Every structure is written in C-alpha cells, then in structure tokens.
Amino acid sequence: MKTIKILLFGLLILSSLSITAQDKTFEVDVIGEGDPILLFPGFTCTGDVWNATVNELSKNYECHVFTFAGFGDVPAIEKPWLPKIKEDILEYVSQNKLENPVLLGHSLGGALALWMAADGNSFKELIIVDALPSTGALMMPNFKSEYMVYDSPYNKQLLAMNDADFEAMAQQMASSMTKEKLNQEKIKNWMIQADRETYVYGYTDLLKLDLREDLAKINSPVTILAATEPYGLDMAKSTYELQYKALVEYTIEFANGSSHFIMYDQPQWFIENLKNALND
C-alpha cells in the first residue's frame, strides 16, 4: 500500500510539472548588464533573430530575449495565445523588479509592445521594428476586429495542410521578408518548426488586435524603424502615417530598400539607428 501511495504521489508531481510546462507562455535568456531591454521577436521567430543585436546591446544593457510559446523549442499553450503572453510579460517585469525597461519588438513583437504601453503601463521607451498597430487593417478592406475568429475556413485549411504544402507556402513567404537566401531559409525553418495550432490561432490573435485608437494612451517615447519593401518609400510613409495618426508624438526612420527583417537586410543601419534611439 505504501508503495502504491508513493507511486501515486510521484504521478501527481509529474502531472503538476507537466501542467506548469504547458502553461509557460515564453522562455527568456538574460544577457549582459545594465538597464533592462526586453526584446520581442516576430511571429514564429525565436529569440535567435536578435543574436547580432544582443551582441551589441549586451555591452551596455541587460537584454531579456524572449521566445514565445509554440515557437522554437518552447511548448505550445492553449488559446487565447497573445493575451496570455502579454499578461505574463507584465508579471515577469513585476516579479523581476525591472524598473522602467525599454521594449524592443519586431513585427508581432512590436505590436505586443504597443499593446502593453497602450494599456497604461509605463516604459522608458518603445522601439518598434516594422510593426503596425493593426495588421488586420493593412490586409483587409473594411476591417473590423470582430471579423477575426478562430473557426474560419482559412484557418481550417491551414490546419489541414500537409507538411509539403506548408513548407512551400513558408518558403514563398520567407522569400519576400528578407533578401539573402540564408536568412530566408532561417525564417522558413522557424515557420515549419512552429506548432501548427499556434501558427494558425496565434496569427488570428494578431489580426484581431487593433490598437489604432488606443495609441493615444501611450505615454512612453516611441521610435519606429520601418522597412520600405515591397511597395516602396511613398507607400510605406502613407501606411505608417495612417496607422499611427492617433499617437501624439513619435520618431520614425525608414530603411530604404529593406524588406521586413531590417536587422538582416541592413544590419549596420539597424544597429546605428537602434543606438541613436537608445541614446536619445
């Protein structure tokens, strides 16, 4: 009987550990010393997307590099994915007593940073890398947040897609996001590695997010580093002006000729403008 009780107790502990692991919304690597910077990657990317950036910033800053659940080797969580991540990051900041951190986010990570700040949280600075407050509005005419639902024909199609077709789709998407083949392969592999339900439902969370009016609530300085491709500088300027018009004040720099992954296409320009933003 005693042996059975011990076995049952062990199973309960394992079950508890399993639940905790499945509920973890991100993993963080902390590198360097100094004032804290939280680095949020884009959709499907791991924290490795920031490697070159961290090599520079960690000389003077404490870099908290995130990889979100369902991406890389981090186990998936139950939806809603993005709201859980946001709340847990705020808890992470509080628990680790990170005073007035800088938020640096690319794409999805940039939208997440805007959301955290628009909710009334105070940060030293936001540095937004090729991200918009409403990705859905960019992609769809007459966009409304409530149109974005998990149970949609498109989502069902993605969930049912076989691995070969999904890889072909990922390859095509990656080829438009950066110029060098090696970096395209890296981005494609992150997409393939991502948990499929996280890919589908997590992207629905992103599309549903519409912060255009809420930008007026942000009280932190905002610097935007924006790509111009594939539609050119004039279109990029028009898009950013329209989407960020409710933000009272911000600084924007355009990486002319760069695709979505500015840190890959124009690494020197990116680091220089990043350091300028931090110094300002």
Residue 99's pLDDT band, with cuts at 50, 70 and 90, is very high
Residue 131's pLDDT band, with cuts at 50, 70 and 90, is very high
Domains of the chain: residue spans and CATH: 27-279 (3.40.50.1820)
Q: How far apart are CA 47 and CA 29, in angstroms?
A: 8
In the chain, pLDDT over 90 holds for what percent of residues?
Answer: 89
pLDDT tens-digit profile of 145-163?
Answer: 999 999 999 999 999 999 9
| pLDDT score at 13 | 34
Output the pTM of the full model.
0.91
Determine which helix (DSSP H) or strand (DSSP E) holds 240, and give its type and residue range.
helix 233-243
Contacts of residue 72, defined as CB under 8 A and 6 or more positions apart, other chains included, come to: 46, 47, 48, 190, 193
pLDDT tens-digit profile of 207-220?
Answer: 999 999 999 999 99
3-state secondary structure at position 109: helix
Residue 21 has pLDDT above 60, yes or no: no
